[in-house]
Chain A
Amino acid sequence: MGRIEIPIGPQHPALKEPESFTLYLEGERIAASNVTLGYNHRGIEKACEGRTYIEDLYLIERVCGICSHSHSTCFISAVEEVAKLEIPKRAKYIRTIIGELERIHSHLLWLGVAAHEIGFDTLFMYSWRDREVVMDILEMLTGNRVNYGINKIGGVRRDISEEQKEQVLKAVETLEERTKYYIEIVNSETTLIGRLKNVGKLSYEDAMRFQASGPVARASGVDRDVRRDDPYLAYGEIPFNVITDNHCDVLGRTIVRAKELIESYKIIRFALKDIPQGDLAVKAPRRIPAGEAFTRYEAPRGEDVHFVKANGTDKPERVKLRAPTLANLASITHMLDGGYLADVPIVIAAIDPCFSCTDRSISIKHLDSGNENIMDWDSLRKYSIDWHKNKGFDAKNIQVKLK
């Protein structure tokens, strides 16, 4: 077979969200690859500017279905920094605990997805079964399995009672036992290692060059974790290890995530034991004084970055968020090149991509010429009107009658 072009996406069983990867194959080997973003642009930053901070909080929480607490906490930290609010210590601890539970939920989900991509459905089913445990705990603590809504400006909405503490500790016990079993599997199962080892190589230099973040970077030996380097919430007071690995491949990313689970259990245990008594929230003003803030948060997938600019009203002037997937996406084509077609799903899955969190723009591609250009709002509107006019449809002639 000669060189063939194969589209992975926008719709493909390996992808959970629409995204387009174009691969140029020579036999089963990938000669070149190309990533196209922009199938999920939801205009979330613009939507934030039109809403109050309280509404924005719930909107931001819905940026991602998995790391919803990360985005919400990152955003609210920025708002609180602008408003110069010091939230109670107990609230900080509760946010930390929910954040770590979310990390557990995300990493277990990832383990299942990765196992499914390499056809190991048994591990997929096992890890998703265990994920139910942590989701039940999250539901008990916050009322929701995803999109917890625990944050409010100035603190948190709900307390953790002694009874709930007991239940969380019990669940963590179960999960720790299961996780140790998975670590054993990852280190011993031959077919699993065969599929993960030396796949999607990203050396330390390349990880630095492409600015990878989160577990992807840590699996390439980059010792970087916002929780330790720039402590926020209660992380400065909680001892934990930053897990790094020198495999520089998908196996390394699996090991890093599995070991991070163990660290998360430690953090939750410590936080629950040492959680200080006190208020849950301080009173927050409706109008946030003018100013700007930039916050970083170690989401399960990597470093999440939010920027908020306030202008003294109850609505933000500008909100900018960068999801961790965008940082890792740059390294994907590098990881794919020279690999096998069979490894494409697992290499893409190994960065734990969340494409709808990432998209901030649409690029229009002309199917016949292949030209791409990025349009601003006005030209997009004009393009749309002209396109419809060409089809014999003039928006000016439409009259809406109100009864």
Chain B
Amino acid sequence: MLLSLFYILIFPGFIFLSAYGLIVEYLDRKLYARFQNRIGPPWFQPLADFIKLIGKEAIVPAKADKGMFRILPAFALASVSAVILYIPLWSTSALFPFKSDLIVVLYLLTIPTITFFIAGWVSTSLFSTLGAVRTITQLFAYEVPLFMALLGPALLAGSWSISEIAAFYYKNPLLSLYNIPGFIVAMIAIQGKLERVPFDIPEAETEIVAGSFTEYSGRHLALFRMAIDIEMIVLVSLIAAVFFPVYISGNITLGLVTYLLKTVILVFILALIRSLMARLRIEQMVKFCWLYLAPAAILQILIDLLVKGVS
């Protein structure tokens, strides 16, 4: 009981996630800045931003649904934080694995996006509404490729549990080479999930100010920002667990170092994609996802089925 509480609240639960979320945000911003020939923020900048936002006045629009408006950030934060319990971090087993937890994780990861949509909708301002509509349109575009990209490896491993998938590829590391198309699809799709360039359409600042979050301020915005940071870690951890079967078993410290290394490499790739492109239009994004990303994900499933049939 006490150990479970420790897991949930301190490590790898809330405290660790928040701290690592801020570090990852710093890394992302710093790398992005260096790619752009800028100096970038100091290491404590995300923390300072968070504290500043917490301390500021939280304005709730007069016409907004006040209860929903206040509770949504907490919803987003809780759902993304819960995911970490089912993802293997330093060993091939997650903290509370169960059969078919991959499905639960994917659905838990949809909740923050839905909260962004509802948050934009209940704000009732024009820019928020437009941002909300774009968020949900974008969700339909990247969600299917992302699911299918993760489905392929699961099919080959013959399990719906992330821990079992990780264990399978740990035993047969060469088999994960078949999953490279899926890895690429997943990396592009989570760029959409995290609303980053080239898929930062829902919060395109030069068009619709801050999209869904236009009316948010103070601690509500701080919680949303934290949820997005944690969402990034969770997604990166999920991809690392499914596509990168590198673990050092037995030693928790070394295992943790491997985990951190894997996630940092993925964050580096994400920052690189972000700095190389321009923002697409929503209709270009949807077209790209259905025309290229979804077929690539289907190809991944086909490959995995073939490999499974042969072996």
Contacts and interface: CB of A to CB of B under 8 A. Distances in A.
Interface of A: 1, 4, 6-7, 12-14, 28, 115-123, 125-126, 129, 189, 191-192, 194-195, 340-345
Contacts of B37: 125-126, 129
A14 B133 contact: no
Given A119-B278, A191-B278, 12 more contacts: A12-B209, A13-B205, A14-B206, A28-B282, A118-B206, A119-B198, A125-B37, A126-B36, A189-B278, A191-B279, A195-B284, A342-B201
B171 interface: no
A118 B36 contact: no
A117 B206 contact: yes
Listed residue (B35, B207, B284) with the most chain A CB atoms within 10 angstroms of its CB:
B207
B149 interface: no
Listed residue (B35, B37, B281) with the most chain A CB atoms within 10 angstroms of its CB:
B281
Contact of A119 (B130, B209, B279): B279
B78 interface: no
Contacts of A191: 198, 277-280
B71 interface: no
B215 interface: no
Interface in B234-287: 275-284
B175 to A, nearest CB: 33
Nearest to A343: B281
Interface in B35-62: 35-38
B207 A341 contact: yes
Contacts of A189: 277-278
Nearest to A6: B126
A238 B280 CA distance: 42
A195 B280 contact: yes
Interface string B161-178: 000000000000000000
Contacts, number: 78
Interface string B24-38: 000000000001111
Listed residue (A4, A13, A192, A345) with the most chain B CB atoms within 10 angstroms of its CB:
A13
Contact of A345 (B38, B206, B278, B283): B206
B283 A340 contact: yes
B36 A121 contact: yes
16 contacts: A1-B133, A6-B126, A7-B126, A13-B206, A13-B209, A14-B206, A14-B207, A119-B206, A120-B277, A120-B279, A194-B280, A340-B282, A342-B201, A342-B204, A342-B207, A343-B281
A126 B37 CA distance: 7
Contacts of B231: none
A115 B282 CA distance: 18
B200 A119 contact: yes
Listed residue (B197, B204, B207, B278) with the most chain A CB atoms within 10 angstroms of its CB:
B278
B207 A4 contact: no
Nearest to B199: A119
Nearest to A15: B206
A340 B36 contact: no
Nearest to B36: A125
A13 B206 CA distance: 5
Contacts of A125: 36-38
Nearest to A120: B278
Contacts of A119: 197-198, 200, 204, 206, 278-279
Interface string B120-155: 000000100010010000000000000000000000
A28 B283 CA distance: 9
Nearest to B276: A122
A195 to B, nearest CB: 5
A289 to B, nearest CB: 51
Nearest to B137: A28
Contacts of B130: 6, 341
